[in-house]
Structure 1
Amino acid sequence: MLIINARLRNESSLYQIEITNQKFGTITEQASLQPLPEHAADVIDARGNLLCAPFIEPHIHLDAALTAGEPAWNQSGTLFEGIERWAERKPMLTEADIRSRALRTIQLLMENGVQAIRTHVDTTDPTLTALKTFCALREELKDKIELQIVAFPQEGILSYPNGSRLIEEALEIGADVVGGIPHFEYTRALGEQSMKDVIALARKYDRLVDVHCDEIDDPNSRFLEVLASEALFADMGHRVTASHTTAMHSYDNAYCSKLFRLLKKSGISFVSCPTESIHLQGRFDTFPKRRGVTRVKELNNAGINVCLAQDSIFDPWYSLGNGKLLRVLDAGLHICQMMGYQDISKALSLITDNSAITLGIQERYGIATGKPANCILLSGADDYEVIRRQEDVLLSIRAGKVIMERKPTELLTRPAIFPA
């Protein structure tokens, strides 16, 4: 396969890219647009659009996707009522139910350029039905999409009956990542202990860590410092992720100044889910009302790895969602006040390269000679134009094969609306 007339991120020239044996081969600069050769069955004309590494969804709950309103809606819009509604839905889970919803949601994500997903799967279910189902799906779908599974104790590790045993059983079954939710544990002491336990389990089973950390407006919720310090002491910060950290929006700047020193030294990554956090947080405020989204811009400017995610698609916590990470990125740039040219011109990293670091797949990710030939084609010449236009992903290639393709949006009316 040969791709011609392609733009690459942070490059001003056009390029042609060879794909051989499922890997990127020679990448050659072009002087100008080239015509599509005749009988070009294995040639793709990018037409000056941006060829980009695939989108990554670093934080989503596929086990709960497409369950909003079953059996009841989250009327308050709070995180905690969402957990209550999900607890009512869990007894209805079956393998067939989970597979059906998961496959529909994965298909939606793939249609929008996603080729790697980290999904949090609830382990506060004595049967671990969802966890077992996703481990099977990971194997079945490995040639189509990369799936990482987080053993996520939605109702707590230490506060849920046998929560510690269940999360360890999930790791023995095959979960890739150890999860936690310290702010939902009954006491501060239990929350702190759960973070120590998470790191200990990750070391015992040689797994990654991704914690729902301080997803609350409480400025006194400071489990992030425990997670980061434990990661630092264990020398495994590059394998640890803190998701949400919305309490950081409520921390004062003096504390954050101290905290950022630890965060940078620890080397942990961050995931923010801006559309969900702006919806769930600030629910106990009248006015002034918090955004309740972590300090994405400040983390990014400090050189700390941070990426954006969708979190939910039509579930008890979030009743919208369509699998479009460009929509999440657009909203995140607005919400986090990252609307300067320099912010936008590099913003695709928040749903690509930074996410690859979070998932620990950066060594086999990206458009470079010798790497797996996974890429997507976006409408626009660079990050800025792609984000501004917000058009559908045009093409998705995995292991050198086209897995999704659509034509660019065209106006039905050809004549100019306003004469030149």
Structure 2
Amino acid sequence: MQTHGAAPVPAQLLVRDALLADRNGPVDLLVGDGRFTRVGPLDAREVATARAQGARVVEAAGRLVVPPFVDAHMHLDSALTLDPADPNRSGTLGEGIAVWSRRRARLTGKQILANAREVLRWMVAAGTLHVRCHVDVSPGAPDALSALLELRDEARGVCDVQLVAFPQDGLYREPGQREALRAAMARGCDAVGGIPHHEPTPAQGEAHVRDVFDIAQEFDADVDAHCDETDDPGSRFAVSMAREAAERGWQGRVVLGHCTAMAAYDAALLGEVAARLADSGVGVVANPMVNAVLQGRNDAAPVRRGMAPIAALREAGVTVALGQDSVLDAWLPLGVGDMLAVAQFGALFGHLTGHQQLAGMLDLVTGSGARLLRLDDRYGIAEGRPADFVLLDARDPIEALRLLPARLHVFRHGHEIARSSPARARLTGPFAPGEVVFGRDR
């Protein structure tokens, strides 16, 4: 029971007979000093030693253990701000922005913090321990950044919150926008956001892209921009972002959110853009729930789906992850922050229902998200890495996607931080009475 040749570490936790998505057959997980010290079958002597050292024993009993879920695109500052008296009646992105502009004018930092904290609690309970949160830092916005900086500190050690300075109103519509973006980075944001397609003219959109990279270079920060969030196939700022990433040496440090215009590209254009993104090391985050709500609103039949083409992007070598984006706000009147539910919806909405495609959806809310957030060796079920993981009441990734099962245990650094009870039902009438089990072969 050692880690990388180090002295023996006393066992802290032992998970027995777990299944992992990338391994055949059950394994045991041994944890010491908050890290995985063994990932693999243990013999009887090793199990006895762990028990003698006082390790807590969790019986997985053939259930699936996954690394923590990663929400690669979230807006916690707008969470729980849905106002039935002032809804987004058209369901469009534009009206959502207008509704949010009115709503944010009535919010206080205290309200934003309370709302964001509550939704983050939901997310942790569902096994999400890494989230990248876009914060509206426009001069007309309330001081959401102070609230989210406080929440980031509160959650430290339980859930890692990365903050993106997001210029919701653009950089050229009103004076002071670029300065506000710089000021937000100086206050401690982790990444520079952007929204080039929202500028009044294409030329200003191109200037917006350059400004974002100028600020990123100034602060040596990653870039995570809303990009081409429109149904217009002429919106191609993803190409501009890829060009800047390559020219400035920012490969692997740029993420583009939404990219819904790609759903309207023809096959040749999509192939060209996807290749540019892959060559420049630019990742994409699709947000299937909010994309389904906002896109195609002005289409006559047939109505476009309007989600970034996940399969084509991945085939081209682009790293793609998923985000919840919104919970009960001007853009999405639903949501609970459950990334398995986001993956399930993304599979259905994106026609990703072949066996291998379904099995691969789990990676979009775990490993791929971790790569885009550059978590590196701080993430994953491997010896020597932090013992962060979720035990699901499911036997394999596809069953997890189908059932959206209970998160039986959520662990961070080997300590349990959340638990749920298995969902059970019982028929009590004359037809086949007894317990109902929704899993197969149980």
The alpha carbon displacement at 1:66 in A equals 0.4
Q: Distance in 1 between matches of 2:426 and 2:309?
A: 43
327, 334, 350: which is aligned to 2:348? 334
The alpha carbon displacement at 1:413 in A equals 4.8
Count of matched residue pairs: 418
256, 274, 293: which is aligned to 1:279? 293
Q: Distance in 1 between matches of 2:71 and 2:299?
A: 30
Q: Percentage identity across aligned positions?
A: 35
1:6 correspondence with 2:21: no
Match of 2:412 in 1: 398
1:365 correspondence with 2:379: yes
1:417 correspondence with 2:432: yes
Please say if residues 59 and 309 of structure 1, whose CA atoms lie closer than 8 Å, have aligned partners that are also in contact: yes
Alignment of structure 1 residues 50-129 onto 2, 5 Å: 50-69=64-83, 72-126=86-140, 129=143
1:144 correspondence with 2:155: no
The alpha carbon displacement at 1:160 in A equals 2.8
Match of 1:18 in 2: 30
Q: Distance in 2 between matches of 1:54 and 1:146?
A: 11
Please say if residues 359 and 398 of structure 2, whose CA atoms lie closer than 8 Å, have aligned partners that are also in contact: yes
Provide the secondary structure at the position in 2 that maps to 1:394: strand
Q: Distance in 2 between matches of 1:409 and 1:147?
A: 29
Report the AA paired with residue 338 of structure 2.
Answer: K
The alpha carbon displacement at 1:402 in A equals 0.4
Relative to structure 1, is the Cα distance of residues 70 and 173 closer, same or farther in structure 2, using a 3 angstrom cutoff?
farther
Report the AA paired with residue 63 of structure 1.
Answer: D
Deviations along 1:199-230, whole A, 9 cap, x unmatched?
11111101111110000001111111001110
The alpha carbon displacement at 1:41 in A equals 6.8
The alpha carbon displacement at 1:399 in A equals 1.1
Q: Distance in 1 between matches of 2:141 and 2:339?
A: 32
284, 287, 308: which is aligned to 1:294? 308
Match of 1:133 in 2: 147
Q: Distance in 2 between matches of 1:46 and 1:301?
A: 34
Alignment of structure 1 residues 164-313 onto 2, 5 Å: 164-313=178-327
The alpha carbon displacement at 1:77 in A equals 0.3
Report the AA paired with residue 18 of structure 1.
Answer: L
Q: Distance in 2 between matches of 1:75 and 1:127?
A: 22
The alpha carbon displacement at 1:194 in A equals 0.6
What is the TM-score with the length of structure 1 in the denominator? 0.95
376, 395, 406: which is aligned to 1:381? 395
Please say if residues 36 and 386 of structure 2, whose CA atoms lie closer than 8 Å, have aligned partners that are also in contact: yes
Deviating beyond 4 angstroms after TM superposition, the runs of 4 or more aligned structure 1 residues are 34-41, 413-416
Report the AA paired with residue 311 of structure 1.
Answer: D
What is the TM-score with the length of structure 2 in the denominator? 0.90
Report the AA paired with residue 248 of structure 1.
Answer: M
The alpha carbon displacement at 1:303 in A equals 2.0
Relative to structure 1, is the Cα distance of residues 300 and 416 closer, same or farther in structure 2, using a 3 angstrom cutoff?
farther
Relative to structure 1, is the Cα distance of residues 416 and 110 closer, same or farther in structure 2, using a 3 angstrom cutoff?
farther
Match of 2:440 in 1: none
Please say if residues 376 and 394 of structure 1, whose CA atoms lie closer than 8 Å, have aligned partners that are also in contact: yes
Q: Distance in 2 between matches of 1:340 and 1:362?
A: 29
Q: Distance in 2 between matches of 1:72 and 1:156?
A: 23
Report the AA paired with residue 289 of structure 1.
Answer: V
Provide the secondary structure at the position in 2 that maps to 1:211: strand
The alpha carbon displacement at 1:125 in A equals 3.0
Q: Distance in 2 between matches of 1:256 and 1:270?
A: 13
Match of 2:58 in 1: 44
Provide the secondary structure at the position in 2 that maps to 1:58: strand
Report the AA paired with residue 158 of structure 1.
Answer: Y
Please say if residues 397 and 404 of structure 1, whose CA atoms lie closer than 8 Å, have aligned partners that are also in contact: yes
Q: Distance in 1 between matches of 2:279 and 2:407?
A: 37
Q: Distance in 2 between matches of 1:127 and 1:14?
A: 51
Please say if residues 105 and 141 of structure 2, whose CA atoms lie closer than 8 Å, have aligned partners that are also in contact: no
138, 145, 155: which is aligned to 2:169? 155
Q: Distance in 2 between matches of 1:316 and 1:342?
A: 35
Deviations along 1:22-47, whole A, 9 cap, x unmatched?
11111222699x99989987101111
Provide the secondary structure at the position in 1 that maps to 2:99: helix
Q: Distance in 2 between matches of 1:282 and 1:297?
A: 20
Relative to structure 1, is the Cα distance of residues 126 and 390 closer, same or farther in structure 2, using a 3 angstrom cutoff?
closer
Report the AA paired with residue 342 of structure 1.
Answer: Q
Please say if residues 195 and 225 of structure 2, whose CA atoms lie closer than 8 Å, have aligned partners that are also in contact: yes
Relative to structure 1, is the Cα distance of residues 296 and 239 closer, same or farther in structure 2, using a 3 angstrom cutoff?
same
Report the AA paired with residue 77 of structure 1.
Answer: G
Provide the secondary structure at the position in 2 that maps to 1:346: helix
